[in-house]
A and B are shown apart, each in its own frame.
Chain A
Amino acid sequence: MKRETGMGVALLAMCVALYASNPDFLGASNSINTFRQISMLGIFAIGTGFVIITGGIDLSIGSTIGLTGVIIAKLSSPSCLGLSLWVGIPVALGIALALGGIQGLLITHLGLQPFIVTLGGMLLIRGVSQTIADGGTLSLSGSPLLDFANGGYVQVHGAALLPYPLVLFLFVIGIATYVLHFTVYGRYVYAIGGNRDAAEYSGINVRRVEASTYLISAGTAGIAGVCYASYIGQMSQQVGIAYELYAIAAAVLGGCSLRGGEGTVLGIVIGSAVMRVIDNGINMFQLHYVDTDQVPRIWRLNPNWTYIIIGGVILVAVILDQTVHLVQAKRRIRAAGALAEAQKAAQTAAANDAAAKSGANGPSAPPPPVVTPPHDPPGQQGDQP
């Protein structure tokens, strides 16, 4: 929970600073747009979080997002096959799930490495998109899908305060929180990430649980793909490139460990928000100043610095986190050592008392062994963290 608190505070501070520098940051149009961006990233970041918590990795989701959109455009765009969206979207989502399932089975049942399987999947799926789009662009213009990303509930002055992607995101958050934190399945996901062998030795069907996480990852990528298709409006093979890395970054910022076993839905939500607020903040941040000729000017961040800033934030976050961990571990060892010493001293005193009473030990005999040390009842050793 600590990582989430830290990132939450950082997120809040960032928002306050951005608002102070440029009140438009919290203006209706910018904040709705930021929420939409956070939602679309958050949806598939949560899905890939399941994979990451089991200790796996899914590099194919960016390509899955792209393919979902391309398939929908191909099937349902008036300029292509023109089928109903009620056909296009389910088919696209079904294919996304199938791809996730296949990769999951390859990883769990053939024992292949997740990095390699999903790297292959990433390239292969990307290529399929490119082939379907024939290297060009498939326009969704004229499709009712275009209203989805920009529309929403609570209309005020022509803007929807609650864009549909945000609604979808809240829905995903709710289900994921339930599944990951309140069900047996979620417990198994953490156990596998914490120690796969111990999970297996405890009778968990490790392969099935693990394979299912790739299904979840691909499924959320499909949902995000629908949103992006609607948002962008025309699909080419470029859509979704490197999105998996954004999702991984969001998960890690939010407290997931790539070793597995750690992370929460809340953390991934915060991580996604941090990523998108940084993105947006680079455009919004401004400093008013007066130059030497008394002319008021505005200083802005160079948009070319976007990746430098995002990369820097990720590195700083993990460095801080590791430093805190090391300091805590050191403190714990010191406290535990002191505790053990105190217990040992108490035991030795007790043993010496007993020896003195019985008076049986000659001077040449080895020191009296402690056979069964008295145990403090749990909960009495209050001097440890």
Chain B
Amino acid sequence: MEHKPPLLEMTGITKRFPGVIALRGVSLTLHQGEVLALMGENGAGKSTLMKILGGAQSQDEGTIRIDGKPVVFENVRAAKQHGIALIHQELMLAPNLDIAANIFLGGERKTLLAPLPRGEFNERARALLARVGLERPPTTPVSELTAGQMQMVEIAKALALDARIIIMDEPTSSLTAGESEHLFAIIRKLREEGIGIVYISHRMEEVLELADRITVMRDGGYVGDLRRAEATHDKIVQLMVGRDLSGAYFPERPRSATQEPMLVVENVIVPGAAAGVSFMAYRGEILGFAGLVGSGRTELMQTLFGVTPALGGTMLLENQPYSPQNPRQAIARGVYLAPEDRKRHGLVLPMTIAENTSLPNIASYARFGWLDRATEKRVAEAEIARLRTKAFGIAQKVVNLSGGNQQKVVLGKWLAMNPRILILDEPTRGIDVGAKAEIYRHMAALAADGITILMVSSDMEEVLGMSHRVAVMHEKRLRGILPIEGLTQQRIATLMTGGKGAQAA
């Protein structure tokens, strides 16, 4: 082999955010015609590293070299000019424009007022679509495409810019099995054309099938590299987690849930779902919900919380009829939700910890509408002490807290109100390892107190480590509820992706 410098070399990349160091001296190398899988738990720093490579953020320290030459990316445009294309997990397409317009968006012309060369665009778009194997006319509006087809448009967009490095962030998270296969074929083709691909994924089978090399990150640091030949499932997990998962990380589960039903869900129809969902959750149980992104777990939780009221079916909460039409009614019955997107749905970011903690409950300890700030302060202080929230005090604005501490504020606001059912949607997403372990401990303690926890999680280790039983969803249906004893990741994954092999328990 000739001694050519690698296509991409990132060395000593460090990035700080308020309250956390997202990256500590991370290095990454990518060669021409190579598929590099980047792996790590949520919050390991993969996305931040890729945002830096894509020019969306700038590193505080460290250098990026392309073909051995140091480069600095002021912005996304500069990164694109160096042939770097980032395909986000949530696709960045304008649904109101057609395929060709999306492919050439931002690369149209020299002057803003020149007429759009539509004919030329359509011609070039057709060629690009043929390269990625998408058989739709370039004039099709993007809103008519499936998730998999949109992914192809994203790739075509990258190719239109003559990208030499394509970063894909969890590209299969919303694809069907068939679409994923198609994507893999395209990736292999691109590799043969000499394009370097950074592939971020949590799905072990994909990575083992596709990657030439695997780089593992943990807690914002570089942990190690594995060649394809030496990589195994266990080795990767060991590098990613760095410890025996069943040990110190997850707390002892409360012996067992009672057999006393807390919530009985009978044929409840979630808006947007074709069929009803039925299950039962017991007092003191942690019921995990596994499934792919888009499998309908979050929607089910929102229906249980009254955000999108059920279209049919019945529910019983502690043997009393329960059919919340809005969150107010759910909260009145002691059913609380810590939402998936806590910045959007969980917190009023410009408000203080105290104000966020008291928000759902403040009316109950006000007298004639007059705010009772003394009680508010006492409650908030009790909650940050109980959850060990790291803050200067209850008067700190929530926007300045780290993700883990923000999640603790969300939890604190509900814990102050004696929950019956606590719905936790991705409770530890984007949270550092330390805070994660603490949240797990609190969950176990709450369950031991007889609170029922419904936990939606895409983190398989978390589902296996915390749940008493695991409900698996696929395409808006509940595929089965499996007791944790003897349950394997494999078995959940099979059900999650639409495979058979387990009966509803």
- Name the A residues within 8 Å of B391 (CB-CB): 378
Q: How far does the Cβ of B378 sit from chain A's closest Cβ, in whole Å? A: 15
Residue from A186, A195, A384 within 8 A of B347 (CB atoms) = A195
- Name the A residues within 8 Å of B363 (CB-CB): 184
Please tell me if B355 contacts chain A, counting CB pairs below 8 Å: yes
Contact between B366 and A183, CB atoms less than 8 A apart: yes
In the complex, A191→B21 CA distance in Å?
Answer: 30
In the complex, A206→B350 CA distance in Å?
Answer: 18
Please tell me if B348 contacts chain A, counting CB pairs below 8 Å: yes
Q: How far does the Cβ of B340 sit from chain A's closest Cβ, in whole Å? A: 11
Contact between A341 and B219, CB atoms less than 8 A apart: no
Please tell me if A13 contacts chain B, counting CB pairs below 8 Å: no
Interface string of A242-276 (1 = CB under 8 A from B): 00000000000000000001100000000000000
| Total number of residue pairs linking A and B with CB closer than 8 Å | 139
Please tell me if A203 contacts chain B, counting CB pairs below 8 Å: yes
Q: How far does the Cβ of A144 sit from chain B's closest Cβ, in whole Å? A: 37
Residue from B19, B348, B369 within 8 A of A183 (CB atoms) = B369
Residue from B21, B307, B350, B434 within 8 A of A201 (CB atoms) = B307
Contact between B337 and A369, CB atoms less than 8 A apart: no
Contact between B392 and A202, CB atoms less than 8 A apart: no
In the complex, A298→B60 CA distance in Å?
Answer: 58
Contact between B344 and A198, CB atoms less than 8 A apart: yes
Contact between B350 and A366, CB atoms less than 8 A apart: no
Interface residues in B332-375 by Cβ distance below 8 A to A read 332, 337, 339, 344-351, 355, 359-360, 362-363, 366, 369-371
Residue from B17, B370, B392, B434 within 8 A of A372 (CB atoms) = B434
Please tell me if A359 contacts chain B, counting CB pairs below 8 Å: no
* Nearest chain B residue, comparing its CB with the CB of A337: B16
Q: How far does the Cβ of B255 sit from chain A's closest Cβ, in whole Å? A: 23
Contact between B19 and A339, CB atoms less than 8 A apart: yes
* Nearest chain A residue, comparing its CB with the CB of B220: A344
Q: How far does the Cβ of A270 sit from chain B's closest Cβ, in whole Å? A: 21
Contact between A182 and B370, CB atoms less than 8 A apart: yes
In the complex, A191→B147 CA distance in Å?
Answer: 35
Q: How far does the Cβ of A334 sit from chain B's closest Cβ, in whole Å? A: 8
Please tell me if A205 contacts chain B, counting CB pairs below 8 Å: yes
Contact between A369 and B392, CB atoms less than 8 A apart: no
Given contacts A198-B346, A341-B21, contact A333 B16 (CB under 8 A): yes
Contact between A336 and B18, CB atoms less than 8 A apart: yes
Please tell me if B328 contacts chain A, counting CB pairs below 8 Å: yes
In the complex, A205→B327 CA distance in Å?
Answer: 9
Most B CB within 10 A of own CB, among A182, A190, A201: A201
Contact between A379 and B393, CB atoms less than 8 A apart: yes
- Name the B residues within 8 Å of A337 (CB-CB): 16-18, 21, 60
Given contacts A200-B327, A369-B218, contact A336 B17 (CB under 8 A): yes
Interface string of A339-373 (1 = CB under 8 A from B): 11100100000000000000000000011111111
- Name the A residues within 8 Å of B224 (CB-CB): 366
- Name the A residues within 8 Å of B349 (CB-CB): 194-195
In the complex, A372→B436 CA distance in Å?
Answer: 9
Residue from B241, B362, B392 within 8 A of A384 (CB atoms) = B392
- Name the B residues within 8 Å of A185 (CB-CB): 369
Please tell me if B31 contacts chain A, counting CB pairs below 8 Å: no
Please tell me if A375 contacts chain B, counting CB pairs below 8 Å: yes
Please tell me if B505 contacts chain A, counting CB pairs below 8 Å: no
Contact between B413 and A202, CB atoms less than 8 A apart: yes
Contact between B21 and A187, CB atoms less than 8 A apart: no
- Name the A residues within 8 Å of B348 (CB-CB): 190-191, 194-195, 198-199, 261
Residue from B249, B332, B371, B392 within 8 A of A184 (CB atoms) = B371
Interface residues in B17-42 by Cβ distance below 8 A to A read 17-21, 24
Residue from A187, A198, A201, A372 within 8 A of B362 (CB atoms) = A187
Most B CB within 10 A of own CB, among A194, A203, A368, A371: A203
Given contacts A184-B371, A187-B362, contact A203 B20 (CB under 8 A): no
Contact between A375 and B339, CB atoms less than 8 A apart: no
Contact between B248 and A336, CB atoms less than 8 A apart: no
* Nearest chain B residue, comparing its CB with the CB of A205: B328
Residue from B249, B351, B413, B438 within 8 A of A190 (CB atoms) = B351
Contact between A370 and B219, CB atoms less than 8 A apart: yes
In the complex, A200→B438 CA distance in Å?
Answer: 28
Please tell me if A332 contacts chain B, counting CB pairs below 8 Å: yes
Stretch with Cβ within 8 A of A (4 or more), from B120-128, B268-276, B382-390, B477-485: B382-390
Q: How far does the Cβ of B259 sit from chain A's closest Cβ, in whole Å? A: 31
Given contacts A375-B390, A378-B393, contact A203 B371 (CB under 8 A): no
Contact between B345 and A373, CB atoms less than 8 A apart: no
Q: How far does the Cβ of A7 sit from chain B's closest Cβ, in whole Å? A: 20
* Nearest chain A residue, comparing its CB with the CB of B243: A369
Q: How far does the Cβ of B33 sit from chain A's closest Cβ, in whole Å? A: 29
Please tell me if B239 contacts chain A, counting CB pairs below 8 Å: yes
Interface residues in A23-69 by Cβ distance below 8 A to B read none
- Name the A residues within 8 Å of B218 (CB-CB): 366, 369
Contact between A194 and B339, CB atoms less than 8 A apart: no
* Nearest chain B residue, comparing its CB with the CB of A178: B370
- Name the B residues within 8 Å of A184 (CB-CB): 362-363, 366, 369-371
Please tell me if A197 contacts chain B, counting CB pairs below 8 Å: yes
Please tell me if A204 contacts chain B, counting CB pairs below 8 Å: yes
In the complex, A186→B371 CA distance in Å?
Answer: 9
Contact between A332 and B400, CB atoms less than 8 A apart: yes
- Name the A residues within 8 Å of B413 (CB-CB): 202
Contact between B434 and A373, CB atoms less than 8 A apart: yes
* Nearest chain B residue, comparing its CB with the CB of A368: B242
Please tell me if A302 contacts chain B, counting CB pairs below 8 Å: no
- Name the A residues within 8 Å of B223 (CB-CB): 366-367
Residue from B369, B389, B433 within 8 A of A370 (CB atoms) = B433
Interface residues in A154-205 by Cβ distance below 8 A to B read 182-187, 190-191, 194-195, 197-205
10 other A-B residue contacts (CB within 8 Å) besides A333-B18, A366-B218:
A184-B362, A191-B351, A198-B347, A201-B345, A261-B348, A344-B21, A370-B434, A373-B434, A375-B388, A375-B434
Q: Can you name 20 A-B pairs with beta carbons within 8 Å?
A: A182-B370, A184-B363, A187-B355, A191-B355, A195-B349, A201-B327, A203-B328, A203-B331, A337-B60, A339-B19, A341-B16, A344-B21, A367-B223, A367-B242, A370-B433, A371-B248, A371-B434, A372-B248, A375-B388, A384-B392
Question: Which A residues form the contact surface with B (CB < 8 A)?
Answer: 182-187, 190-191, 194-195, 197-205, 261-262, 332-333, 336-337, 339-341, 344, 366-373, 375-376, 378-379, 381, 384
Question: Which B residues form the contact surface with A (CB < 8 A)?
Answer: 16-21, 24, 60, 218-219, 221, 223-224, 239, 241-243, 248-249, 305, 307, 326-328, 330-332, 337, 339, 344-351, 355, 359-360, 362-363, 366, 369-371, 384, 388-393, 400, 413, 433-434, 437-438
Top-4 shortest CB links A-B: A337-B16, A336-B18, A194-B348, A203-B331
